[in-house]
């Protein structure tokens, strides 16, 4: 089974389905539509759900939209700032759209 991690501050949003995408660089985007992922926190490695990948699409930082931000349950300025912090100096990303499995 494939695995993915998230910062633990996003656990509640993911479980409540307020966060339905994650934006990753190429090294973390080795998934495709249909894949089922075991999901745990980055910090403690605590498992918290399974999710199914609905789609993987490419995006450049400058082309992020308010829709991406809404799917992250944040504002666009906040999302763009966050991605700069997580991935300094990178411009090319993958939007992984997922569905929580229950």
Is residue 6 involved in binding ligand A1EHT (CB under 6 A)? yes
Token duo for residue 1:
């089974």
Considering only residues 12 through 31, tell me which ones interact with ligand A1EHT, judged by CB under 6 A.
22-24
Token duo for residue 73:
């349950």
Q: Given the rule CB under 6 A, which of 3-11, 31-39, 47-55, 57-65 is the region that contacts ligand A1EHT? A: 3-11
Site size with ligand A1EHT, rule: CB under 6 A = 12
Is residue 98 involved in binding ligand A1EHT (CB under 6 A)? no
Catalytic residue among 3, 5, 19, 84: 19
Q: How distant, in Å, are the alpha carbons of 23, 39, 54, 62, 69 from that of 77?
A: 15, 27, 25, 11, 8
The closest alpha carbon to 80, from 95, 69, 89, 90, belongs to: 69
Catalytic residue among 8, 22, 85, 102: 22
Is the Cβ of residue 33 or residue 42 nearer to ligand A1EHT in the bound state? 42
Token duo for residue 72:
């992250």
CA dihedral 49, 77, 75, 31 (to 10 degrees): -30
Is residue 82 involved in binding ligand A1EHT (CB under 6 A)? yes
Q: Are 19 and 72 spatial neighbours (Cβ–Cβ below 8 Å)?
A: yes
Residues of this chain that interact with ligand A1EHT (CB under 6 A) are 5-7, 10, 22-24, 42, 72, 82-83, 86
């Amino acid at each position: 089974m494939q695995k993915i991690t998230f910062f633990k501050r996003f656990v509640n949003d993911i479980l409540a389905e307020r966060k339905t995408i994650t934006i990753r660089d190429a090294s973390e985007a080795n998934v495709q539509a249909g894949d089922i992922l075991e999901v745990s926190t980055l910090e403690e490695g605590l498992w918290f759900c399974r999710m199914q990948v609905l789609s993987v699409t490419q995006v450049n930082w400058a082309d992020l939209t308010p829709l991406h931000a809404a799917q992250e349950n944040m504002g666009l300025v906040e999302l763009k700032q966050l991605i700069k912090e997580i991935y300094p100096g990178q411009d090319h990303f993958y939007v992984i759209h997922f569905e929580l499995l229950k």
